[in-house]
Structure 1
């Protein structure tokens, strides 16, 4: 068989046969090594196809999730801008009973307390972050196994 570079035959692309082959034909045409090679190639092709299918499905779902999350981000942005007007309302409401400067000072203090509370919550969440220990251990085990395999030769 000539190579594809010489302009000859194109090398075969591994694929799973779509028609059933009879045991007599398989036994007559191939050896045990050939059967193992074919089974390995078919299994490899099947695994690759499954991985590609999973990738395409996940990519489609991620696109849907991103599109949906954009709407939530827009809603959250509008809500955050609306809080500005809410605090003006609170300041004006307090100005009915207090001098204007005191009402807005109390309003400002409330805004600082509001921001401080959420900053505290965010800090607590960030403090709980840990390194992915199982992944690190698995990677170390893999590296150690590959090193030992190389030393055995």
Structure 2
């Protein structure tokens, strides 16, 4: 009987050892996934900031064009000011669209590593279930 108990203890010890190795490997993989996802999110943030900067410059340029068209319209009322006004409004719309796109890319919910969080919750649940069953 003693030999059988020793084998069972050794088997349980072996199982815990294997579980420890597997959990360690799993954690390493999760860290690698988190790094990759955060790199992706950093790229997304960089793109958002770039869009905001370019959108701001385009909006500024449109304001200059709109101001120029207003000055030109007051100086002489002809068809040329209307063309400058239309161009200024189009540039303004483009700038506003770019600003909105950049702002939406920088929202906190877009920068959270959702996949990593989900897999870590699944791993935690798996580990708890596995420990309970042993």
Q: Rg bigger for which structure?
A: 1
Range into which the TM-score falls when normalised by the shorter chain: 0.3 to 0.5
TM-score, L = length of structure 1: 0.39
After TM superposition, the score normalised by the length of structure 2 is 0.43
Q: Which has the higher helix share?
A: 2
